[in-house]
Amino acid sequence: MQDFLVIFFVFTIFSWNLSNGNAQTTFNLMKYGAKGDGKTDDTQVSGKIVAPNSIGAWGTCGDTWLSFSGIAGLTLDGTGSIDGQGSVLWGQQQCRPTALHFHDCNNMWMKGLSFINSPRAHIVINSCAGVSISNIKITAPDESPNTDGIDISRSTNVRILDSVIGTGDDCVAINGGSSNITVTNIACGPGHGISIGSLGDSGTDDSVEEVNVQYCNFTSTMNGARIKTVPGGTGYARKITYDHITFDGTSNPIIIDQHYCNGKVCAEKGKAVAVSDITFSNMKGTYSKEEAITLICDSSTGCNNVRMEQINLTPSTAGEKGNVTCSNVKGERISVTPPVPCLSAGCAAMQSCSVLTHSVLASLFEACDFLVIFFIFTIFSWNLCAGNAQTTFNVMKYGAKGDGKTDDTQVSGKIVAPNSIGAWGTCGDMWLSFNGIAGLTLDGTGSIDGRGSVLWGQKQCRPTAVHVNNCNNMRIKGLSFINSPRAHIVILGSAGVSVSGIKITAPDESPNTDGIDISRSTNVQILDSVIGTGDDCVAINGGSSNITVTNIACGPGHGISIGSLGDSGSDDSVEEVNVQYCNFTSTMNGARIKTVPGGTGYARKITYDHITFVATSNPIIIDQHYCNGQGKAVAVSDITFSNMRGTYSNDEAITLICDSSTGCNNVRMEQINLTPSKAGKKGTAVKCSNVKGERISVTPPVPCLSATKE
């Protein structure tokens, strides 16, 4: 046989073609030690899988070398490598197989492996859902043709994390039929960047949406953040964000190209894949060629709602000038260097953004302590001070233009609630309420002060500070929220929400002052914020899916929680939640999932990853007995706690208390190291019941989970 090391799979008898030049090309892994008993860990790759080292040894090779199809729950991890020895095939036209191909493999996990010199793409993910790839390394020289790192097609809910990829083509390519893709903390280079497309090739109908590429570095790459579509195709590329990106000597850092023809001259065909709702933000670094930013869009279709914000690109060589090419693009720019003239200048780029005169402000503050928030395209009213007869305001009367050009979304002062119980009058459930506004934006450096201390002792008058209902494609950025009477921000029934760079502050004894409550919402991102309250920093409630919480400093508070779910016998569901790169300081809880007995539904596909605890009372919790009770339970499954470290201040570091009938299934804990905040402190450390899953390198150990080798 050729040089290879068998990969084992739990519950699977699987075979693959390793060397078509060898008569024995199919292997039954059970003959090589795989147990398939659901107990023995046999998913490790700890040596090398090596391809044939000559053209003749490949024989009549196909499109793939290692292929996996129709395997649910597939896991590949270890410290081994897969070497495609591609240099012997890079000059060939016909025999250029993909190294590793996955088709219809849902809930797949890959971690820790190295991939070297594939003949073509290194990893292809096709028609898969629920994929996590982390801590891998892919290496091929920059002149190796078509050696994409990871190709994603017709797949959804895919996460690529914490990896190093250097190839002769795209580090990551996201192709047609893909949605809800997250790419985080990738070091890319050499290569062609992280790309959407190409889409629409040969007149196809292709769609890509809900892609978030964040905290990535591009070093000496040909491209960086790129969207490419071929003329004549149909479909769309939309709701795509590149955020917190660093470039070092990248030839072309930012590209949208609706005329992509792979080096050939494009013929105008009268139609194009639609490109819209694109954000490039928080980018910095250097470019090595003349063009820093290229936005070339189709004359008939164009690119719409392209937003560029906080971008600073400079040439690698001092004294060189950088060009911007830009056509048929609609959108806005805020603090972009070099400037992009075809985008409208947003507020931060203007000399003055205030549309309120001093006299108007003075009269408003006399009527009630608040500052009006303006909205583009919106005539909107809200109740600011219930104790005042004038409780509804038309913002158009105070200077909002609503013309689609004037920036009137800024909050640059204070919105202040009444300072006494009597001034609130007959208050309702919410203070500032926004309902049914598509594209709502709230940003600025201002603050919203709920003066909640006057109401925290009340039972009836405890409104939420900011309540958002049915507001799709909404953005909140830069604001501060202080001392709400109840929850600070509630997001209800909304899709496509981004909350970033905010600060929420309330004392740890303030009751029910959740930072951000999310219910019945999808595709929500909470990013780069500081939240300290008397309750959950972030609470993710029933009916919510595809929620990403990244880089949150939480404390004081009750942690970042799923639930509670199933209260009063309700049917609640939460899925596809990723909480990552968060810090918990002096919080009551950390990563928590809580369900109430008697409810139905599920909490599944939830990951807490790269979490740090400092004196957290109870760092990790699953509690299916929250609030006590009996009967049926919300199902909890496919839960991952990984890459966690820090200290706990109570006796219990890890609590996994699950229902005796329903239980918690497929709970995975990996690379966790928790120690008492006081040296020598002893306690129970772990409580665990009715849980099925596995642990890899967990301190303190969790005895109810099966131990797996690292």
Residues with catalytic roles:
192, 558
**Alpha-carbon torsion 376, 378, 379, 383, what sign?**
negative
Which residue do the tokens 């500081």 mark?
530
CA dihedral 493, 497, 503, 507 (to 10 degrees): 20
Burial class from Cβ neighbours inside 10 Å (0-12, 13-18, 19+) for residue 438 reads middle
Please say whether the beta carbons of 212 and 174 come within 8 A.
no
Q: Within the chain, what is the greatest distance between any pair of CA atoms?
A: 89
Rounded to whole angstroms, the Cα distance separating 197 from 228 reads: 5
Tokens (6 digits) for 674: 């928790």
Measured between its terminal Cα atoms, the distance across the chain in Å is: 28
Report the SS3 class of residue 523: strand
Which residue do the tokens 């649910």 mark?
72
Burial readout 379-415 (b: 16 or more C-beta within 10 A, e: otherwise): ebebbbbbeeeeeebebeebebebeeebbbbbbbbeb
Tokens (6 digits) for 455: 């109401």
Please say whether the beta carbons of 231 and 261 come within 8 A.
yes
Please say whether the beta carbons of 101 and 128 come within 8 A.
no
Percent helix, strand, coil in the chain, to 5, is 5, 50, 45
Q: Select from 142, 152, 90, 83 the least CA-distant residue to 114.
A: 83
Beta bridge partners of 311: 283, 336
Identify residue 66 by its one-letter amino acid code: L
Assess whether the previous peptide bond of 463 is cis (omega < 30° from 0).
no
CA count, 13 A, side-chain hemisphere, 93: 0
CA dihedral 284, 285, 286, 287 (to 10 degrees): -50
Q: Select from 569, 580, 568 the least CA-distant residue to 608.
A: 580
The H or E element containing residue 361 is helix 358-367
Q: Select from 118, 216, 108, 127 the least CA-distant residue to 172.
A: 216
> What phi and psi values does residue 630 have, to the nearest 5 degrees?
-140, 175
The H or E element containing residue 378 is none
Report the SS3 class of residue 56: helix
Tokens (6 digits) for 548: 């990403």
| 195 Cβ contact list (under 8 Å, min separation 6) | 170, 172, 173, 174, 223, 226, 227, 228
Report the SS3 class of residue 600: strand
Rounded to whole angstroms, the Cα distance separating 642 from 273 reads: 39
The secondary structure of 652-679 as a DSSP string is EEEEEE--TTT-EEEEEEEEEEEEESST
Please say whether the beta carbons of 167 and 196 come within 8 A.
no
**Alpha-carbon torsion 345, 348, 352, 353, what sign?**
positive
Rounded to whole angstroms, the Cα distance separating 607 from 642 reads: 8
Rounded to whole angstroms, the Cα distance separating 554 from 538 reads: 9
